[in-house]
């Protein structure tokens, strides 16, 4: 199997925006499954890479981003899935994890060719990161139970496109082989 | 109003792929409206930019792409909307019109800040071009009656995301101000 | 005049590589002039942006990079020009400050159109950042007394190219208008 | 050995700019050696890729670019090294062959990992293409007798940087193993 990495998109999240309450509600059950998936990935020694909004900290400063989110409305999700010291943490300034970031460079250095993409929101940052990964010829899995959106309709619209336009494997996390 | 350009995504299209019959069927009524929109744009002197798959011609050669499509299953659509001599024609190798192309450089040279994005398919190349435009801070319109997909569901899923995640103006073409 | 930002390339630098002694020696007199230029820029309210190698910290973590450099061979230079709280700090994974970074996005958000590029080494990261800035149509100044290389020949070769190929203003710092 | 491609930078060139006479004069002896190198590359079945300025044709149209150059001051060089039907031809809008082009995508599709970079001018488009190749982790050769600049000093300054900053192999063409 191709070398795989696990991406967590915007899981350090203050949820302090319009629709944030709904996103938080939908993320709480999801984060449990994502935690499990992360545990499996780390047991296998796979790279775990947080790719996260910088929330207008324009210093590339992981700690500041994490601290701010721990004190925010997003706390119930954030505390469940904090980055560990040997996780990678890449700051992204826009929707896609590949735009204006070193993600692609890091993945090449790690010889990663397959990505498991998780996080929030399915219909924005997850979808657009998945597309950018596909254009760069990574094999992609987007387990349908490890991302969340503000509504079921938004989640489903995005998953439909991820499956059909990007040919992604969207099986639930526990079925994905690592 | 910001300086505007009209983008036509993959309208030179041989439609020779799985689902191509459905895409062709849905493109035939759409191309009439797009023709009208293009006519309005040209009357206003706006740049009209074809952004098109190269169908594995790896020489950047517009004429070869157009000729091939004129002799293909896509003919009924292609012949209606052929590029004119003073239209721009940019070859794209992947889904997004911005990925591996000179589109962004051309738009800056033309001082364009607002894009009207049209073409096929709504849920792949139109959607992903729209997202890349949004990340680059263009104002975007994606008139809902000037793009098409293989099914109504696919078109609607994509339009929903274009509207909600990208804040695009999706009014029908005749309501869009040029 | 166009809105201007001051870039400091790789000034947080441990100098622990082959040729590092020479680069350090040539950087010590240079950093005094750069300090002066930075002071002038801040007095004018211009954005000051550190663009810096991450030295294989693959977490985007400014503080870790700065701390490491303060305890290194580069200390005599580093301590003179530490980033201040309201300076920007962008981590770059490769030579050019634009490659795999959010620099271009930040500059657009700040409406910057003119860059003063300084730092080390003239013939690598300064040169290649200057070229990438030129391709993106920024106006560029590379004051010849605010960058350094391992040898005078290397510095001069690069400055020659910066002047002739990139049309940059290479006057000494005190002559550059801010 | 890694799979190799031969790049010819801006060899379709009208030479109609300031300094064009000097560049033409220095390109005439160079093109003979480049022809020989191209012959060897094609005998080995290696991809030969022209990466060329579009001279403000904003339609991606190889034939138009080639025709214009055949009728220009650059004719004595251009006629010696015309692209053949099975050569690739990629249009670049700026200095570097990687900026706003599909070059990187094509190279990945061809599984190329090593580039022999040739053409004009050494101190602009050759140098900046070489740097972009290096940042993308291609192994690079820039044979010192298969590129040219307006002056020997400009050529030598650039070759010095290509050798020292990019670690490129700069042996003369006939010593380069294909």
**CA distance, residue A100 to nearest chain B CA (Å):** 10
Residue of A nearest to B131 (CA): A128
Chain A contact for C167, CB < 8 A?
no
Smallest Cβ–Cβ distance between C135 and the set D94, D160, D165 belongs to: D94
Q: What are the residues whose beta carbons fall under 8 Å from the beta carbon of C56, sequence distance 6 or more?
A: none
CATH number belonging to the domain at C4-175, selected among 3.40.50.850, 3.30.300.30, 3.90.700.10, 3.30.1330.60? 3.40.50.850
Q: Where are the domains of chain D?
A: 4-175
pLDDT digits (tens, 9 = 90+) for B93-150: 999 999 999 999 999 999 999 999 999 999 999 999 999 999 999 999 999 999 999 9
**CA distance, residue A42 to nearest chain B CA (Å):** 32
Smallest Cβ–Cβ distance between A101 and the set C59, C61, C102 belongs to: C102
Smallest Cβ–Cβ distance between D127 and the set C99, C132, C161 belongs to: C161
Tens of pLDDT, residue by residue, chain D (178 residues):
899 999 999 999 999 999 999 999 999 999 999 999 999 999 999 999 999 998 877 676 788 899 999 999 999 999 999 999 899 999 999 999 999 999 999 999 999 999 999 999 999 999 999 999 999 999 999 999 999 999 999 999 999 999 999 999 999 999 999 9
Q: Indicate which of A57, A60, A62, A94 best probes the interface with C, i.e. most C CBs within 10 Å of its own CB.
A: A60
Q: Cβ of D123 and C165 within 8 Å?
A: yes
C-alpha–C-alpha distance, residues D151 and C106, integer Å: 38
Residues of C (56-75) whose Cβ lies below 8 Å from A: 58-63
**CA distance, residue D31 to nearest chain B CA (Å):** 22
Chain B contact for A129, CB < 8 A?
no
Question: What pTM was estimated for this model as a whole?
Answer: 0.94
pLDDT of residue C62: 84
Q: What are the residues whose beta carbons fall under 8 Å from the beta carbon of A6, sequence distance 6 or more?
A: A37, A38, A41, A46, A47, A48, A49, A115, A116, A118
Chain D contact for C128, CB < 8 A?
yes
Of B12, B135, B144, B147, nearest to B72 by C-alpha is B12
Per-residue confidence band for B55, with pLDDT thresholds at 50, 70 and 90 = confident
- pLDDT greater at residue A64 or residue C140: C140
A132 chain-B contacts, CB cut-off 8 A: 99
Please state whether D49 falls in left (phi above 0), alpha (psi between -120 and 50) or beta: beta
Helix (H, G, I), strand (E, B) or coil at A94: coil
Chain A contact for C102, CB < 8 A?
yes
């Amino acid at each position: 199997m191709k070398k795989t990495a696990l991406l967590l998109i915007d899981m350090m999240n203050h949820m302090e925006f319009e629709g944030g309450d709904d996103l938080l509600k939908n993320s709480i059950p999801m984060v449990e499954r994502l935690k499990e998936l992360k545990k499996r990935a780390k047991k296998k020694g796979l790279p775990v890479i947080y790719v996260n909004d910088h929330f207008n900290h324009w210093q590339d400063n992981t700690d500041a981003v994490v601290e701010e989110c721990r004190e925010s409305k997003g706390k119930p999700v954030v505390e469940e899935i904090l980055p560990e010291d040997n996780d990678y943490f890449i700051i992204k300034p826009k929707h896609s994890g590949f735009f204006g970031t070193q993600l692609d460079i890091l993945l090449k250095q790690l010889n990663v060719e397959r990505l498991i993409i998780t996080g929030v929101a399915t219909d924005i940052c997850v979808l657009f990161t998945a597309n950018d990964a596909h254009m760069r010829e990574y094999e992609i899995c987007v387990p349908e139970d490890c991302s969340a959106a503000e509504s079921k309709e938004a989640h489903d619209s995005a998953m439909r496109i991820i499956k059909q336009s990007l040919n992604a494997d969207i099986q639930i996390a526990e079925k994905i082989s690592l």
